[in-house]
Chain A
Amino acid sequence: MDRAGTEPGGTDPGGTAGDAAAGSGTAGGNAVRTAARACAGLALGALTAVLEIAFLLVAVVPVLFSLGRRPLPSPVVAGAGRLTELERRRLAAFFAARSAAPEGGGRALAYLAVRAPIGLLGGTILLLIVYGAYLGAGLMTGWWVTGDYMDGIPPDLWIVAYTFLAGALLLFIAVQGLAGVVALERATARRRLGPSPLDAYRRRIAELRETRAQVVDAVDDERRRIERDLHDGVQQRLVALGMLIGRARRAGDGDPERAAELLRQAHEESRRALEDLREVSWRVFPAALDGEGLRTALETVAERSAVPVTIDHAFPGRPPHMVETAAYFVVCEAVTNAAKHSGAGRVHVGVAEHDGRIRVRVEDDGTGGADPGGGGLAGLARRVAALDGTFAVHSPPGGPTVITAELPCA
């Protein structure tokens, strides 16, 4: 009986999934309830099938008339849409089957045309069961209550046993039929309504194409930034250093004291140039991330930040390398932004595991108004999207700003 609620090879997002989780004491009750619900759904489905067949018969003329020439007439589309919606609700309520809304009137019509006969089939099997029950009840009443034997056959042992066996067999087949109809209903809805596998692939490919282009963009942006970093920092320092040494040499023998002073400045400048270089290379990619992992790299971010940063790192183990890197850059950029633009007095970073995904959350108590389309944040969004993650910036004027990213770790 509880076959009615599930289908072979199908996923079952609700309904009977509860049976497995329920205690053994209530499992039987649950199965009965599920079966009863499914029967009610089938009965209702038979009624809607009658309605749909009537609708299709009325709609067939305008549909044939518009085939391949014009868009479907709008009353037909609206009617098909409404009936389909009704079916989707019925499937969700009685069979716990979720389905997608159809894309366009054509798909809804096609679904109804396929679905109506299935609904009638379900109704017919239900009627057969009712008829069988009525016949069995009549037979037993004749044998043991009124004594008015059907066909004048007395209920001796062989006859009773034979009749019960035959009845049980027929009942079993009928119930299997019901289960089959439920499975058909679900499969039809999935195939005709939901995104077809081909559509799903197409959408995925479009998505991948877009994120791939965005990744290339993001990489170019990063390179631009590195170039600017090198040009504005390290290179200027080195030129200044060269100038100091050049001046020292020109001062040379004429003024050894000044030459010495210039050399001392040059020495100092070379130290600063090295610091700058270290800074830039760290910004390009923190070596700690590879060796020690996210936690250590984030601690470094906190140490270097001008604004106090608290870190709550509760992710067990280490996520995959790409994910770790993306999470790191989300935090790094968010913290830099907070320090630069928001006037925040403190920043809180949270890293947690959530449903097999890593969730990164950066909150600051600044003035808000961060622009998600701004260079740095847009680059992060692209980076996260490329790993099938989600990225959100919540920054109302007046703050606080909350930046969250979730990345799948599989």
Chain B
Amino acid sequence: MRVMLAEDSTLLREGLVRLLAEEGHEIAAAVGDGDALLAAVAAAPPDVVVVDVRMPPTHTDEGLRAALEIRRRWPGVGVLVLSQYVEKRYAAELISADSGGVGYLLKDRVAQVDEFLDALDRIAAGGAAFDPDVVRRLVARSTHADPLARLTPRERDVLDHMAQGHTNGSIAAHLHVSQSAVEKHVNAIFDKLELSNTAGYSRRVLAVLRYLQS
């Protein structure tokens, strides 16, 4: 696939370029700030962009701004945001209505090469990839009217994996249960969370996340 990178640390940028090249991906652009990324995407939209949140000039959320801009103007381009910390707000902003092809990973996750590449593939395929830590933070929210409180521990596990963007098949493999058991859990979760059972798997993930955010 065609990938574009925006990461201000030269070291990391080079590392990512090599890693992706070894996997056989095409690096269309590797830049150091949000504006350059937007210019590159405008010139020839890639399949996926990988964006660091903190970039010059202010080192706050330039990368996220650029990512949202790309989501808005080129919905077909997948966006993977790399963040220094789990920022629920950023995750919430990325989960916009009815859009697949987004991801939000902790930067350090890049070192888990397999996970990172896997997330990139899922996003390119119009799916979603959310960092387990992000999901945990969202799921661990405890409000007194917490609908999650009504889930069994097993259902929580399933939701946890689902929110990370895993398919029912891979959830079954992870939890060592049959796929039909997972499907049963998923339906139970949707019933308990009062969500209509949508077909699209990424939409399903996003709906769950959005619901958790609200």
Contact = CB atoms under 8 A, between A and B. Distances in A.
B12 A246 contact: no
Interface in B107-142: 107-108, 110-114
A242 B112 contact: yes
A237 B114 contact: no
27 contacts: A228-B59, A231-B54, A232-B9, A236-B9, A239-B12, A239-B107, A239-B108, A239-B110, A240-B11, A240-B12, A240-B15, A241-B111, A242-B111, A243-B12, A243-B16, A243-B19, A243-B110, A243-B113, A244-B15, A246-B19, A246-B112, A246-B114, A247-B19, A250-B22, A250-B113, A250-B114, A251-B22
B27 to A, nearest CB: 15
Given A239-B15, A243-B19, 18 more contacts: A231-B84, A232-B9, A235-B107, A236-B11, A236-B12, A237-B11, A239-B107, A239-B108, A240-B11, A240-B15, A241-B111, A243-B15, A243-B111, A244-B15, A245-B111, A247-B18, A247-B113, A249-B113
Contacts of A251: 22
A238 interface: yes
Contacts of A247: 18-19, 22, 113
Interface string B1-42: 000000001011001101100100000000000000000000
Nearest to A255: B22
B113 A238 contact: no
Contacts of B114: 246, 250
A334 B94 CA distance: 43
Interface residues of A, number: 19
Nearest to A241: B111
Q: Which of B18, B84, B111 has the most CB of A within 10 A?
A: B111
B14 to A, nearest CB: 8
Q: Which of B11, B18, B59, B107 has the most CB of A within 10 A?
A: B11
A19 to B, nearest CB: 66
Nearest to A244: B15
B9 to A, nearest CB: 4
A144 B107 CA distance: 113
B131 to A, nearest CB: 14
B107 to A, nearest CB: 6
Contacts of B84: 231, 235
Interface residue range, chain B: 10 to 19
Q: Which of B15, B54, B59 has the most CB of A within 10 A?
A: B15
A246 B113 contact: yes
Nearest to A258: B22
A137 to B, nearest CB: 91
A247 B9 CA distance: 19
B87 to A, nearest CB: 14
Interface in A244-276: 244-247, 249-251
A238 B9 contact: no
B19 A239 contact: no
A135 B11 CA distance: 103
Interface in B77-125: 84, 107-108, 110-114
A248 to B, nearest CB: 9
Contacts of B15: 239-240, 243-244
Contacts of B22: 247, 250-251
Nearest to B111: A242
Interface string B30-66: 0000000000000000000000001000010000000
A259 to B, nearest CB: 12
**The 7 A-B residue pairs with the shortest CB-CB distance in the complex, in nearest-first order:** A242-B111, A246-B113, A236-B9, A243-B15, A240-B15, A240-B11, A236-B12
Contact of A242 (B11, B18, B54, B108): B108
A238 B111 contact: yes
Interface string A283-322: 0000000000000000000000000000000000000000
Interface in A207-246: 228, 231-232, 235-246
Contacts of A245: 111
B111 A239 contact: yes
A209 to B, nearest CB: 31
A272 to B, nearest CB: 9
Nearest to A250: B113
A99 to B, nearest CB: 53
A246 B111 contact: yes
Contacts of B16: 243
A216 B15 CA distance: 39
A223 to B, nearest CB: 15
Nearest to A232: B9
A157 to B, nearest CB: 102
A242 B108 CA distance: 8
A252 to B, nearest CB: 12
A250 to B, nearest CB: 6
A231 B9 CA distance: 10
